[in-house]
Amino acid sequence: MQIGLFGGTFNPIHLGHLRSAEEIQESFQLQQIVFIPSANPPHKEGRDIISPLHRIEMVNLAIAGNPAFSTSEVEISRPGKSYSIETIDRFKEMQGKGLTLFFIMGMDAFTEIITWKDYVSLFSRCNFVVTTRPGYAVTDIETILPSDVAGEFSYIPEEDRFSHISNFSLYFRDITPLNISSSVIRRRIKEKKSVRYLLPQAVVEYIKLHGLYKDS
Ligand code: ATP
C-alpha cells in the first residue's frame, strides 16, 4: 500500500492543493492521498486561521467524489501544536507493515523544513515529495539543508531521486504551476472580490454560507 500524506492548513483548500495531490498520486501511483488539516500550525501562529472544523469540512467538500482522496483528523484531534513527525509516526503505527508513505509538500514548505520539529529524523521516517510552486525557486538540497544533513543523501540520476542513508527517498517533482494561495483567497474575500475558479465551487458556497474570512 502506497499512501501520500498531504499536510496543510487548508485555510481554505484550493485548486493548487488539489492539482498537486492529483499529479503526485498519478505519477507515484499512490492508492490514497490523505489530506491532513493541521489543528494549530506552529509556523502560522497569529494568522487568521479559522476553526479546524470548518477547514476539514471544506476539504471534505473539495474531495467529494474522488475515491483516491481522503481526510484525516489525526492532527485536529490531537491536543497542542501539530507536528508532522508525530503525524507520520501515527500513520506508521496505524497502518503497520506493508505501508509506504510519501509525505508531500510544496517548495515553500521545504525551504522551511529545518525549522520543523526533529526535522533531521524526518528523513528516516518516510519518503518525501517536494513539488514546484510558483514564486518559490527550485534550489538544491545543499542550499536548504546543513551540509551534514545534505550529505546523508545521494542523487540517483536514473530515478531522479535523492536516496537517504535510511533508504527512504526525497523526490523533487515539477507540477502544473498554479499561482494560488489561501492567503490571496482570504484577502480577496475580505475585499469582496471574486474567488470563483480558484477553489471548488462547493467550497466557495460553504464560505459564503458561513460568512467565513469576511473580517480578520
Ligand atoms: P497560506 O497562503 O495561508 O500560507 P497556502 O496556500 O500556502 O496557505 P497551505 O495549506 O499552507 O496553503 O499549504 C499546504 C501544502 O500545500 C504546503 O506543502 C504547500 O507548499 C502546498 N501548496 C499550497 N499551495 C500550493 C500551490 N499553489 N502549488 C503547489 N503547492 C501548494
Q: Which residue puts its alpha carbon closest to atom 25 of ligand 1? A: 16
Instruction: List, in sequence order, the alpha helices (H) in the chain.
Output: 15-28, 52-63, 84-95, 107-110, 119-122, 141-144, 147-150, 182-190, 201-210
Q: Can you tell me the mean pLDDT for 168-173?
A: 97
Of the pLDDT bands very low, low, confident and very high (cuts 50, 70, 90), residue 94 is confident
User: What is the pLDDT, as a whole number, of residue 42?
Assistant: 61
Please check the confidence at residue 140 and state whether its pLDDT lies above 90.
Answer: no
Amino acid at 191: E
Please check the confidence at residue 40 and state whether its pLDDT lies above 80.
Answer: no
Which atom of ligand 1 sits closest to the CA of residue 185?
A: 2
How many angstroms does the Cα of residue 106 sit away from the middle of ligand 1?
A: 7
Please check the confidence at residue 164 and state whether its pLDDT lies above 90.
Answer: yes
126/195 Cα distance (integer angstroms): 36
Closest CA to 169 of 201, 130, 128, 209: 128
Task: List pocket residues of ligand 1, CB cut-off 6 Å.
Answer: 8-11, 16-17, 20, 105-106, 108-109, 131, 133, 178, 180-183
134/65 Cα distance (integer angstroms): 28
How many angstroms does the Cα of residue 22 sit away from the middle of ligand 1?
A: 14
**Superfamily per CATH, domain 2-178:** HUPs (3.40.50.620)
In angstroms, the first-to-last Cα distance of the chain is 42
User: What is the pLDDT, as a whole number, of residue 108?
Assistant: 96
Closest CA to 24 of 177, 174, 158: 174
Task: Encode pLDDT of 64-75 as tens digits.
Answer: 999 999 999 999
